[in-house]
Amino acid sequence: MTATTTDRPTPDQFTDATWADIRPRYDDLAARPLGAGDDAIEAWLADWSALEVALQEASSLASIAYSVDTTDPAKEAAHLRFSSEIGPKRGEQQVRLAHKLLDTGFARDDLTTTIRRFATDRDIFREENVPLQQQLQGLNARYQKLTGGMSVEWEGERLPLPKLGPYLLSPDRAVRERAWRLQFGPYVEARDTIADILDEQLAQRQQVARNAGFANYRDYVFEEKHRYDYTPEDCARFHDAVAATFVPALARRHERRREQMGLDALRPWDTAPDPAGRPALHPYD
């Protein structure tokens, strides 16, 4: 069915949707004749945009729900359905529709960058990367589940790592050090698993890049993310500028803090609390 301004999809329609439920909507857009006039193309673009907005919101809601509780199997399944099943296939259909639009020669001054993005997506798309993107999303979910479930024992209570944050602001240096060391303990214990996930991600990302004709993933991802206003070389120059200007300024700030706190050496757990030793603020308590 062709969408209209009164028949726009909503995020709740996709809460439990599978790709089989979503694919017909893309097929409808792909089959719709665009004609020679800009009005028909703009109406088609509006309908496509409405579909993407609804799908993206549904996907974001599923991701947020999972990030809040990575131990819930239903939330994990919903997140994986959007990220690993729907997401890569949705990207494939987006390229399909981009082809359709670009073939019309449609142009509008205020859509120049958008149309350029469509052309980039078309040029770097490779069908063999769709299953690789699905696998990469699965690896992301594995990492998120692993780190999201990390917790530590504190004063007889099991706390997720973010709950240690207030203790890093304590005027008591021993409390801060204990909290700082504890928050990294689960990462150290899981370092081999984390390394395996990251190694696999690196290998698959490099393969995605090679499949698309790039020498490395960095060059590929600059195109994928539509980084038109700056280059990798610009990033390297910015890195050098930060090292030359900001790092010395931060070192001076740390030295002032060390002196204020009366310490022989400033440690990582000394950078957040009030340097005058005043209790941390609790504006929302």
Alpha carbons 280 and 273: distance in angstroms, whole number: 7
Residue 47 contacts residue 39 (beta carbons within 8 Å) = no
Report pLDDT for 36: 65
| DSSP 8-class letter at 271 | S
Report pLDDT for 284: 76
Mean pLDDT by 10 residues, the chain (285 residues): 62 95 97 85 95 97 91 92 93 96 92 96 96 94 92 95 94 97 97 98 98 98 97 98 98 98 97 91 78
Alpha carbons 138 and 119: distance in angstroms, whole number: 28
Report pLDDT for 38: 84
Report pLDDT for 2: 45
The predicted-structure confidence for 54-92, as pLDDT tens digits, reads as follows 999 999 999 999 988 888 999 999 999 999 999 999 999
Residue ranges per structural domain of the chain:
1-150
Report pLDDT for 188: 97
Report pLDDT for 3: 46
Alpha carbons 182 and 168: distance in angstroms, whole number: 11
- Compute CA distances 131 → 135, 151, 204, whole Å: 6, 33, 10
- State the sign of the Cα–Cα–Cα–Cα dihedral 121, 125, 129, 134: positive
